[in-house]
Amino acid sequence: MFRSTPRAVMAAVAAGSATLLLAACGEQATTGAGSGPWKPTRPIEYVAPAGTGGGWDTLARTSARVLDEANLVDRPMRVINKPGGGGAIGWSYIAQHQGDPHKLFVTSPPVLLVPLAGESPQTYKDFTPIARLNTEPMAYVVKANSPFKTFGDLASKLKSAPKSVSIAGGSGPGSLDHVGLAGAVQAAGADASQVKYVPFDGGGEALTALLGGHADAAVAGASEVTGLVKSGDLRVLAVSTGERSAILPDAPTLTEQGVEYVFDIWRGVMGPKGLSESQIAYYEEAYKKMIDNDAWKKESEKLGWTNAYLGSAEFGAFLDEQNESFSAILTDVGLKK
């Protein structure tokens, strides 16, 4: 039978203490506590809360590719599509992983609009803002042979006979396209609640309806209409940015036509609630460097995106302002829940 000597006992205790110390250090390295700046320790799940091919999917895959190829992140970015509910399915998934710094999602105005319309139990306050990345103008378009020559012509008709004009959009009532239209109509002096808005599943379907004579006008992102404008099938009445768009340089802005309204389709990145300052800072820095990367600039120019970086705190304040503005518009058109 083995009998422990005092020296053997002391050696065992020392070995056990060393094991515990190494384990504690390993845990600190994983969590980032007390071991310097945080870094991801496994692949980053990057959620696009929609199907493939849309704006969120394009943003996720483009930014993931640039971040990976430029070695701006320490682990691969793996894009996961979680479509449904105007984004609500993806947001619900992220909300189940509070405090997990290895999950991010791309976002845009629907993260505010869908909850305001009562279609999602989560709101933007249930997540951590990481960075706003870019913006894109909204375009108000008609067929090339339309009698409406300016946005003012369209607004005049909406004032005198609103139900005689149907306007197609690629999102549901109270979401992105509808709010971008309602705000412009209100600013032009018409009653936004009386506008005959016809929702479709995506900008492509809305523009197809316009071309097929099933709508009198349409509202969509500038990048979605560019090809049809260049081909001569569509004409732009106005874009919603303060200055003319680089991809639609001949299209006048709303403000040029006396309509004081600016609506940018902003896009950004958020994470689960409960991320640490070190984790937020890691991703902030990665995206800030990405914005200055030549490959990103080339993709942005091709897609009609304007870089508009905001860090976490500034992005959070921006979201508060946007939420208040959208709430007022949805109240005016009777869609806020």
Contact between 154 and 228 (Cβ < 8 Å) = no
CA distance 66 to 310: 18
**Which domains, and CATH codes, for the chain?**
44-135+265-332 (3.40.190.150), 136-257 (3.40.190.10)
Residue 224 in tokens:
């979605």
Q: Output the CA torsion sign for 309, 311, 314, 315.
A: positive
Residue with token string 């208040």: 324
- Is the pTM higher than 0.75? yes
Residues 6+ apart with CB under 8 A from 272: 94, 95, 97, 98, 99, 100, 101, 103, 127, 128
CA distance 116 to 214: 29
pLDDT at 21: 39
Radius of gyration of the chain (CA): 25
pLDDT digits (tens, 9 = 90+) for 123-163: 999 999 999 999 999 999 999 999 999 999 999 999 999 99
Residue 1 in tokens:
């039978």
Widest distance between CA atoms in the chain: 103
Strand 103-107 to strand 264-272: parallel, antiparallel, or no bridges (unpaired)?
antiparallel
Give the number of residues written for the chain.
Answer: 337
Q: What angle do CA 240, 337, 167 make, to 5 degrees?
A: 35
pLDDT at 107: 96
Tens place of pLDDT per residue across the chain (337 aa): 334 444 443 444 344 444 433 334 443 334 444 457 999 999 999 999 988 877 888 899 999 999 999 999 999 999 999 988 888 999 999 999 999 999 999 999 999 999 998 889 999 999 999 999 999 999 999 999 999 999 999 999 999 999 999 999 988 888 889 999 999 999 999 999 999 999 887 788 899 999 999 999 999 988 889 999 999 999 999 999 888 988 899 999 999 999 999 998 999 999 999 999 999 999 999 999 999 999 999 999 888 899 999 999 999 999 999 999 999 888 887 777 6
pLDDT at 35: 55
Return the bridge partners of 196, or none. Answer: 166
Task: Pick left, alpha or beta for residue 196 (phi over 0 → left; psi -120 to 50 → alpha; otherwise beta).
Answer: beta
Burial label for 7, CB within 10 Å (0-12, 13-18, 19+), is: exposed
193-196 long-range contacts (CB < 8 A, ≥24 apart) are 193/332, 193/333, 193/334, 194/158, 194/162, 194/163, 195/158, 195/162, 195/165, 195/167, 195/333, 196/162, 196/163, 196/165, 196/166, 196/167
Looking at residue 202, what DSSP letter applies? S
Q: How far is CA 16 from its chain centroid?
A: 50
Burial label for 246, CB within 10 Å (0-12, 13-18, 19+), is: middle
**Dihedrals phi, psi of 106, to nearest 5 degrees:** -85, 150
Looking at residue 253, what DSSP letter applies? B
Q: Hey, which bits of 233-305 come out as E strands?
A: 234-239, 264-272
Looking at residue 292, what DSSP letter applies? T
Residues 6+ apart with CB under 8 A from 12: 4
Nearest CA-CA partner of 202 in 49, 2, 54, 40: 54
pLDDT at 92: 97
Q: What share of the chain is helix, strand, coil (3-state, %, to 5)?
A: 45, 20, 35
Q: How many CA atoms lie within 13 A of 214 on its CB side?
A: 11
pLDDT at 43: 98
CA distance 66 to 176: 27
Looking at residue 41, what DSSP letter applies? S
pLDDT digits (tens, 9 = 90+) for 26-57: 433 344 444 579 999 999 999 999 888 778 88
